[in-house]
Amino acid sequence: MNNFRRDSFILYAALVVAVLLSAFVSAETAGVHAADLPEPDRKAIFHPVYARNGMVVSEERYATEAGLQVLREGGNAVDAAVTVGFVLAVTFPRAGNLGGGGFMLVRLAETGEVVAIDYREKAPLAVTADTFLDSNGNVDTEKSRHSVLSAGVPGTVAGLAFALEKYGTIPLEKAIRPALLLAKKGFPVSENLARSLEDARGRMENEPESMRIFFKEGGEAYAPGETLVQKDLAETLKLISRHGPEAFYEGEIAAKISRFMSERGGLITERDLKEYRTALREPVRGTYRGYEIYSMPPPSSGGVHLVEMLNILEGFPLGEYGHNTARTINLMAEAMKFAYADRSEHLGDPDFKEVPVKELTSKEYAAKLGERMSPGRVTPSVRIKPGEMPREEGPDTTHFSVIDSKGNMVSNTYTLNFDYGSKITVPGTGILLNNEMDDFSMKPGEPNAYGLVGGSANAPEPRKRMLSSMTPTIVLKDGEPFLVTGSPGGSLIITTVLQIITNALDFGMNISEATNAPRVHHQWLPDKLRIEKGISRDTIRILTERGYTIETGNTMGSAQSIMKKGEFIYGASDPRRPGGLAEGY
């Protein structure tokens, strides 16, 4: 070998080593060891992110990264989830929150037990049946959606602290730290955040405190890439990390909230805050084609109706009928109608009225409903006056999923209700208030913002939790982890989760395919079948001929899911809303 050839060979070899090394390093920073790459599945049209040890999937990258860091350092799934929950309150303020509420489902690897943590907001003590009615007895949606009255007593801080204390391993201070730093030092505004703030501007302009935080002086919007600092929120987070949830429910923050409420004619008092309690509940359980389903019990309607629909559909060979064929959509829509009709009548806060969970989720009941269904048959939703069109879903609620190396799983959905909730920030705290009170049924048969109707079971009462559709869900196979999923989307949440499960179990999709596939939705009232882009015209024609009124609207939901198969963990963040991140290690 002459000198020139030898030098080029050395250069070439060095280059190869460098390329291989950098590939390895970048693969490792992305959470995946190059050597672990499985064979690409040549039948898959979308490939999920995968890892071996743990994974976090959320709608915002700083939140996912903070959660993953906790896992890498040896924290468990609950540690990571609570960290994600606090970070989203800073970096994803349209839905991440301290001033809202939600639900967390946890699978504990050690015992195999699944528990449901209910930190849904509660109605303040001073609420009455008339609080949200005008002088003619009609529902005043300005009050229920856009005023200080619209806020329920927030549950998020209590719920996250409860989860960490009971099932986590790190101190609260550590779980709050990444959020605190992001609030204090700021973070670059994403395209997504900039746009959602612009969308919220109309209502926010009535709230100087919110404008002061989320817009620049003079009302100019933050451009993507500019830094958003939230000083008051950082101070609030510091107080909570030092003094625990008591700082929020009894201390300085409670005083600020109740003072603001009395100034503005709101209802939440120091007593309401002091008496707020997280509830630990038994998850709703079901089975579907040999898999075990665990989901949120009342005061969410999600789990009950998810299991009810799955039970009905189990009676039909959907796999044989085909994904999104007219026959399958027909059966799904009918199952959805039965479930949402039941929701309007039977569901509410179980601390106030017994909810027939067992009956609604039994296989016998589903079989009876199934007798009224057959491919080709459509029962119109006639008995009650039709509801209003559901409001176009805004990007408000948010879901995240976590799994750790031991098989602990967390499925968490929490919300302010609308984007940025009531758009009202409690002065000096950086806390945006929810407008969750609108999820109560203010008047029998009168639809809420999502077109959902209800009755006395969900009428507003002091201390009661308003009915929710949030459906954080965990699916096991023979007691072992299979799926963690959930989504935002108001009334569309339950049917979104349903389709993630049927897509995986009936149609053999991987988690990316199950997430990306076009969705359908029916909620009994209004009697309309909503479909996303991507369902064939032939299918739409057949469904129309069978009697459905079809509506093609916005996309539905934003599922954030993890699937475990063999030694690999796969994740998918819904592409319907950009900016999410699934990442593992």
Contact positions vs ligand DON (CB under 6 A): 393-394, 396-397, 415, 417, 436, 439, 468-470, 488-490, 493
Nearest distance from residue 439's CB to ligand DON, in Å?
5
Q: Which is nearer to ligand DON, 147 or 241 (CB)?
A: 147
What token pair was written down for 123?
């109605």
What are the strands of the beta sheet with 398-403, ordered from one edge? 279-281, 114-119, 101-107, 409-415, 398-403, 55-58, 581-584
What token pair was written down for 347?
């569901």
Closest CA to 93 of 410, 422, 402: 422
Q: Could you tell me if 517 and 324 are in contact, meaning their C-beta atoms sit under 8 angstroms apart?
A: yes
Alpha carbons 29 and 217: distance in angstroms, whole number: 39
Which residues lie closer than 8 Å to 142 by C-beta, 6 or more apart?
Answer: none
CB half-sphere exposure, 32, CA atoms < 13 A: 17
Q: Which is nearer to ligand DON, 258 or 397 (CB)?
A: 397
Nearest distance from residue 486's CB to ligand DON, in Å?
10
Q: In 276-370, which ranges are E strands?
A: 279-281, 284-288, 291-295
Q: Which is nearer to ligand DON, 323 or 465 (CB)?
A: 465
Residue by residue, DSSP assigns 485-550 as E----GGGHHHHHHHHHHHHHTT---HHHHHHS--EE--SSS--EEE-TTS-HHHHHHHHHTTPPE
Nearest distance from residue 541's CB to ligand DON, in Å?
30
Q: Could you tell me if 553 and 166 are in contact, meaning their C-beta atoms sit under 8 angstroms apart?
A: no
Nearest distance from residue 300's CB to ligand DON, in Å?
7
Nearest distance from residue 340's CB to ligand DON, in Å?
13
Q: Which is nearer to ligand DON, 149 or 476 (CB)?
A: 149
Does residue 397 carry a catalytic annotation?
Answer: yes
What token pair was written down for 359?
């009956």
Task: Tell how strand 114-119 and strand 279-281 pair up.
Answer: antiparallel
Query: Residue 459 pairs with which residues in a beta bridge?
Result: none
Closest CA to 339 of 389, 400, 286: 286
Nearest distance from residue 121's CB to ligand DON, in Å?
9
Q: Which is nearer to ligand DON, 69 or 141 (CB)?
A: 141
Nearest distance from residue 247's CB to ligand DON, in Å?
26
Specify the amino acid at residue 348. Answer: G
Annotated catalytic residue, options 236, 328, 361, 397:
397
What is the CB neighbour count within 10 angstroms for residue 400?
Answer: 33
Q: Could you tell me if 492 and 529 are in contact, meaning their C-beta atoms sit under 8 angstroms apart?
A: no
Element (H, E) at 260: helix 252-264
Catalytic site positions: 397
